[in-house]
Amino acid sequence: MKKFMLLLSVLFLVGCSESKNKYEEEVFRLFENEQDLVDYSIDPRSFSECVVEVSGKNMPGLFKFDPQRTDYYELYSDLVRFKTLTSNYSSTFNKELHTMEELTPKDLWFKLKREFGQKGLSDAHRNFSESVLVCMESFVSRRDGPAFDLLGV
């Protein structure tokens, strides 16, 4: 029984870790060419890690690797992908950005509304936006002012 519980725990951790990595990669793709990060000489990879950590603290779930968080990391990945698609999407079909298997921004929006629910989607959007602001403030204050960390990390 102990071996089964250990195996189950390992599987949850791996699954959550993969979802978290996917979310972090989507955040990185969103911010890799962000002008504000370039202006303040902020590494997009570090910034993405910060956003994922801060937003993860405010996701539903009792602890960091709660199995429920796996689903939320997946949904947050879709939310960030939606932001990326809509910032790059034009009225003409772009073969580099979209394949037939991928969802259009409109389809992805309806999927997010269905999965999150209207209130959950606005809460997720707010959590993500606040996380971006907290991380930006933290990185800028480290660069410009005294070395105190807003994240407590």
Mean pLDDT of the chain: 79
pLDDT of 150 higher than 80: no
DSSP letter for 147, please.
Answer: S
From the list 100, 94, 60, 98, the residue with the least C-alpha distance to 82 is 98
Q: How many residues does the chain have?
A: 153
Return the minimum-mean-pLDDT range out of 17-21, 136-140, 142-146: 142-146
Distance, CA of 151 to CA of 40 (rounded, Å): 18
How would you class 125 by CB atoms within 10 Å of its CB: exposed for 0-12, middle for 13-18, buried for 19 or more?
A: middle
pLDDT tens-place string over residues 43-85: 999 999 999 999 999 888 766 667 778 889 999 999 999 888 8
pLDDT tens-place string over residues 81-133: 988 887 765 444 444 444 445 667 888 888 999 999 989 999 999 999 999 99
